[in-house]
Structure formats: structure tokens, C-alpha cells
Amino acid sequence: MGPGDVHQVLAESRRDGRWEDGLRYVADESLDQGRRVTRDDWRRKWAGMMAGCPDLEITVEHTVVDGEWAANRCTMRGTHTGELFGRPPTGERFEFRGIDMIRVRDGQIVEHWGFAEGF
């Protein structure tokens, strides 16, 4: 499975609330924003995102694939009801845009980089 396919499966897993299914496509150890992490770190990260914003919706606007890499331009929307990315809850709806890049080897994410406009 190539990087574009893995990105698509992760987007579908996230949308359908099947986070555990998506974790099958994350290597046991990988880099996330340049930091070495485990699959359990990813599990905690995703659980934290859902706890901070249970109605999180991520719309992929465009995907570009180049070799082992896939990049998504996306829009994220939701209600900030719990701590999210270290910020206390506001109870307010939000919308921001971002870029999410993954590097895939043997059908699993081995590296991830993401950037979102001010949240």
C-alpha cells in the first residue's frame, strides 16, 4: 500500500471513529514532528484529540504523492470542549487549515509532519 492509500485509509478510519484500525498503518516506531515515538504514543495523541474535540471533522482538500511521501491539505473543524494541543477548552467552534505529510515504508507510516494555521 502506497503513501496516498495509507493517508486515505487513515482519513476514513478517523472519520468513522475506527482509530484502532488506522493504527495498523503506523510502524511500531516512527518519527512524529522529528521526535521518535511508538504506536502507543500515536494512540494517546489521537485519544487526546478526540477528548479535546469529540466532533472533530477533518476534510482532505487535496493530496499530493511523491515516492514514499504523501501530503494532504486539509480543513479541520470542531468544538473545543476539552484540552486540545495543550490549550484549555473554550467551548467554541473552530475552523483552521493545515498540511499533513507522511512517509510510508512497507505500508506503514515511519515519519509524520504537520502544520496548522493558528488555533
Q: How confident is the model at residue 85 (pLDDT cuts 50, 70, 90)?
A: confident
Q: How far apart are CA 114 and CA 119, in angstroms?
A: 13
How does pLDDT run across 36-64, given as a tens digit for each residue? 999 999 999 888 888 899 998 889 999 99
CATH class held by domain 3-116: alpha beta
| Domain map (residue ranges) of the chain | 3-116
Sign of CA dihedral 102, 25, 94, 62: positive
Quick: pLDDT tens for 8-23.
888 888 878 788 888 9
Amino acid 15: pLDDT: 79
What is the model's pTM? 0.86
How far apart are the C-alpha atoms of 53 and 40, rounded to whole Å?
20
Query: Is there a contact between 54 and 10 (Cβ–Cβ < 8 Å)?
Result: no
